[in-house]
Amino acid sequence: AQSVTQLDSQVPVFEEAPVELRCNYSSSVSVYLFWYVQYPNQGLQLLLKYLSGSTLVKGINGFEAEFNKSQTSFHLRKPSVHISDTAEYFCAALPNFGNEKLTFGTGTRLTIIP
Amino acid sequence: SAVISQKPSRDICQRGTSLTIQCQVDSQVTMMFWYRQQPGQSLTLIATANQGSEATYESGFVIDKFPISRPNLTFSTLTVSNMSPEDSSIYLCSVGSTGAGYTFGSGTRLTVV
């Protein structure tokens, strides 16, 4: 089984400042990793995913994430945030065989301060 | 990626009643997933629904409380039965695959009073 930990439940950031949202995973097998965003009163939208290959993954809205196998991390970054980035961000893991069940972290609420 | 239409988007229900949530996908998919997101919490998988077979429920969820139908490859329903205030949550359906990623419906915000 796998688990996903998002240590920061809330992250306030000034507009145009950089941000990093942390995600660590634990698994006995290799996993695929995802970041989702949930805007207020909406469903989840896929930001980016890591399946294999380059450890730096670029997603939508200027976000990127880096897979670090040795540190079992998949942190999400954006160099300059905007008010519209205010949302809940979820990291998720999926074992790379069979059982297609996503395991989600507890989420990080990103608040952009004007 | 697939597009999911989920309804209703929200509802307020009396305790003891049932609500059926529908998800329609614009393409045929093998598996559909149903999640619950309790207030201020992450997503928890309720069950996986395959067409032509009974849904597979996760620990803590039972068919009597959350019956699921999957009549074809583009549609599924989740019923929340005999509701109590503790069932107040957002319910989401999802489809997808590892390579394409997983798409989620916009969610059903349920309040039980």
A32-41: pLDDT as tens digits: 999 999 998 7
**Residue A68: its pLDDT value, please?**
95
Cβ separation A106–B41 shorter than 8 A: yes
On whether any CB of chain A is under 8 Å from the CB of B74, the answer is no
**Residue A98: its pLDDT value, please?**
65
CA angle A83, A84, A90 (to 5 degrees): 110
Cβ neighbors of B60 (< 8 A, separation 6 or more) are none
Interface test with A, best of B35, B37, B92 (most A CBs within 10 A): B37
% of chain A exceeding 70 in pLDDT: 97
Give the integer Cα–Cα distance in Å for A42 and A63. Answer: 19
Q: B3 vs chain A: nearest CA distance in angstroms?
A: 11
How many residues does the structure list for chain A?
A: 114
**Residue A108: its pLDDT value, please?**
96
Cβ contacts of B44 on chain A, cutoff 8 Å: 104
Give the integer Cα–Cα distance in Å for B18 and B42. Answer: 24
Domains, chain B, in order of start with CATH, read 4-112 (2.60.40.10)
**Residue A52: its pLDDT value, please?**
87
Partners of B11 in beta bridges: B110
Q: A83 vs chain B: nearest CA distance in angstroms?
A: 21
Asked if pLDDT for residue B97 goes beyond 70, the answer is yes
- Rounded to the nearest integer, the mean pLDDT of chain A is 92
pLDDT band at residue A56, thresholds of 50, 70 and 90?
Answer: very high
DSSP-assigned letter for residue B58: P
Asked if pLDDT for residue A21 goes beyond 80, the answer is yes
Mean pLDDT, range A1-18, rounded to an integer? 93
Compute how many other C-beta atoms are within 10 angstroms of the C-beta atom of residue A59.
17
**Residue B52: its pLDDT value, please?**
80
Q: B16 vs chain A: nearest CA distance in angstroms?
A: 26
Asked if pLDDT for residue B42 goes beyond 90, the answer is no
**Beta-sheet pairing, B108-112 with B10-13:** parallel
B53-96: pLDDT as tens digits: 889 999 999 999 999 999 999 999 999 999 999 999 999 999 98
**Residue B53: its pLDDT value, please?**
82
Interface of B with A in 41-70 (CB under 8 A): 41-45, 48
A64-111: pLDDT as tens digits: 999 999 999 999 999 999 999 999 999 999 887 766 688 999 999 999
Q: Which CATH number fits domain A2-113: 3.40.50.2020, 2.60.40.10, 1.10.3720.10, 3.40.190.10?
A: 2.60.40.10
**Residue B96: its pLDDT value, please?**
82
Interface of B with A in 87-106 (CB under 8 A): 92, 94, 97-99, 101-106
Cβ separation A106–B42 shorter than 8 A: yes
Compute how many other C-beta atoms are within 10 angstroms of the C-beta atom of residue B42.
18
Domain regions of chain A by residue span: 2-113
